[in-house]
Structure 1
């Protein structure tokens, strides 16, 4: 009897992308490695170099979709598996998640999703015995998966329970659910353009948001889009572009940007006419910032230093985008939901308050400090600023007016600080709606 021969994985179109996706998922879920670390830089997955731009984009979307819908995926697969997901073969688990995600949420033919997942397990020594199981379960998923999703539509399984409990306590149950729904959608691509946003929106098949950012649904390699090579724009969520606007006129002013890398806000400050000193403690991150500024033909003084120890003083303005739990960025960085823990917030708040205190010493009297974090947690935003103002810092709040943020009154809290939520800026097409969760306060040094 002749043996069935299977082509090596590298010869099957699309299989390499899925194998790498499985490796990266394992890195996030079992080795606690961030997506950024595995996708970029010296520690990136070596197999990425072998993928075409199309396969690389597929792989990234596949990983993001699984991480974004982890809870729902777990529910569906648990209902389709009589004995639960195999625990002795990690590649079988990955193949099930990868196949189901394609069937349920991606524009991939069901037969291709099933076939490639089966091939994944067949090529793995420990998982090969589960090839028949993977085939049967994914075929059932194609038939029965959507009804299983519909039956839990009112639940928030894709958000870790500790995070959902925090958001419910801080924003109320209804808003917490709106945040969860917003995080379930694949986000758009937001760009900050140097000039003529309307023209770039047309060229990139997007639209200009009220805040001035250009939003587009174009996918694929960002570096291949018009305007990237000649530095006409940079990628920056629309919410992340707001804090710099709070400084007002910056022409000729000396500004220090603490924790500056990768440099989106640094670029904004330079574009606004400021003389910028960009400070970051990481040599690799400063190198990336310099590369970004070079592409944009923008110049700043760059300093590798710990922001809590940087000796600068006499600045007209300080921008402090502090390290935080980043829970406001989950829609763009879905790994955050599964890598962060509540204890991280407590550790980070200590650093944030030290940075805030240091930032006040860098300002000259009358100078402006904008403190911001990409976190939905009040301890990293509202509470940090309240603690600073309660002390003898010589700082006073300068409330934000709606006219400074395109009239979006819903993103200004009762204290006059900026507070954006992922469910803000809704759109008929969910992919074109939403913002990262951001907090920003504007403070002025009175003495």
Structure 2
């Protein structure tokens, strides 16, 4: 059970406005009632209660007799709820609550008056603003009526000026396109020369493995003619000398024949000419090899650069094939005609080689052209990078070149993208 909360006035049994004489009288009455000497023969519990009440009486008397301490205690009583409803200390709390409610009502009254004054001022401002807008509307209508004619005259002058500017822009655009076309042609010629130089020059200085398709066709055509001439000369020497043989290089019959692929002359009576690895198994069989071909029939001389074929009439027809096709060339190739002697002879040689037509595999220039970037090409670059964030810059450059034909490389595309996205 919670202890009782009692005020000093309740302990002394005096009112909240009691004077010093009444407080002294109340202390004497309560002392006679609760002093241990006035309760002889009381139980231990009664004695403890008396001692406690005497302590409270002493505290109350000291507090209420001191004016300053009493004022502080009255302020403290305004925030305390005492146990008994008839406790005189509750009067201070009720007084404080009444004063607080009065102050709140006064504040509300002042707030309502302020709101009413603000509403009146707002209505006055709205009326003034409405009158001002009406005056401005009348002035605006007058100005519009005055400016309408001026605008019509200015519109006619503007249209004439726009027509002149349009004609001038078209002329400048045509001139710019002609300059860009000339610059692009110069860049294409320059890049073509650079590409040809880089294509025809290997890391070791060799140009054989970087021929174009037309150069490969010409090379194999000349090689085929030389092989046929060698076979004809070998057959003629065989018919003239019977079993005797003449070396390929025109030296004496007793000297060993030269070999261009590792072949050795095992018999001076067997004519041999090799550019690969060929060995003669029959002395009466002339052989010529350019890639490891060996003749199995002594009556059919053959010459091959990889794999030989025989036509229907029994004549030897060499065919040329290679495992690694020549590198792709970006230069346009001339269409074969009926008058071209290399068309029929090399048609079967390149049957397995198809030119790459996908624009993504177009070779990139070593130096990007200095053609000015248009807004359309820049927008296409930004869109490609957004759609393909993991794509390499070279592939993005190939996509742009396939669409705009401006000869960009990966480094130029990367620099342009970083400049417009930093």
TM class by smaller structure = under 0.3
TM-score w.r.t. the length of structure 1 is 0.17
Greater percentage in strand: 1
Larger Rg: 2
TM-score when scaled to structure 2? 0.18
